[in-house]
Amino acid sequence: MDHQIYILVIEDELEVMDALIKDLEEFEQTFPIESANNAEEAEQVVKSIADSGDEIGLILCDHVLPGKNGVEFLIELESDKKFGHARKVLVTGQAGLEDTIQAINKAHLDHYIAKPWNMEEFQKVVIDQLTGFVIEKKYNPMEFMAVLDSVRLAEALRGSKLTDH
């Protein structure tokens, strides 16, 4: 890869943030993690990632945040050409039906994780989403087989017309 694919975590409660980052540990080598405590900070992070030519593969976002809420942030990001493809996951206990509908319809939310989460299921969601992302972006599946869903990636590899040389 000539650039990094980040995981962006947005969460205002420090303990929850720590728990999320701990559960993301095994991905960090391949997908560096950036964290933000609120939507405004997240916008800064997004901007600096864009400036360095990198991209975001997955956003794990809390809904209730000080200032702009998570769903609003995701909707705004959806219209961003460079980051519209990023997989978007709400990790929350308090998004009401209306907000959730907004997130699905306007931000193309990819998944909803209810707090408290179970680590195994959480990691499965992360793997599924990132696998979908790298396949959709047509990145070389081989670079991700060791960390993500290797069977799906092998299937993608099979469809990618590999040749001997």
Q: Which residues bind another protein (CB under 8 A)?
A: 142-143, 145-147, 150-151, 154-155, 157-165
**DSSP-derived pairing of the beta strands 87-92 and 55-61:** parallel
In this complex, which beta carbon is closest to another protein, that of residue 15 or of residue 29? 29
Are 153 and 135 contacting, i.e. CB atoms less than 8 angstroms apart? Answer: yes
For another protein, the closer of residues 27 and 73 by Cβ is 27
Query: Which one, 119 or 162, has the nearer CB to another protein?
Result: 162
Q: Which is nearer to another protein, 30 or 35 (CB)?
A: 30
How far is it between the farthest Cα atoms of the chain? 56
Contact by Cβ (8 Å): 17, 35: yes
Residue reference for tokens 């976002």: 61
DSSP state of 143: G
CB of 148 to another protein, least distance (A): 10
Tokens of 103: 């997130």
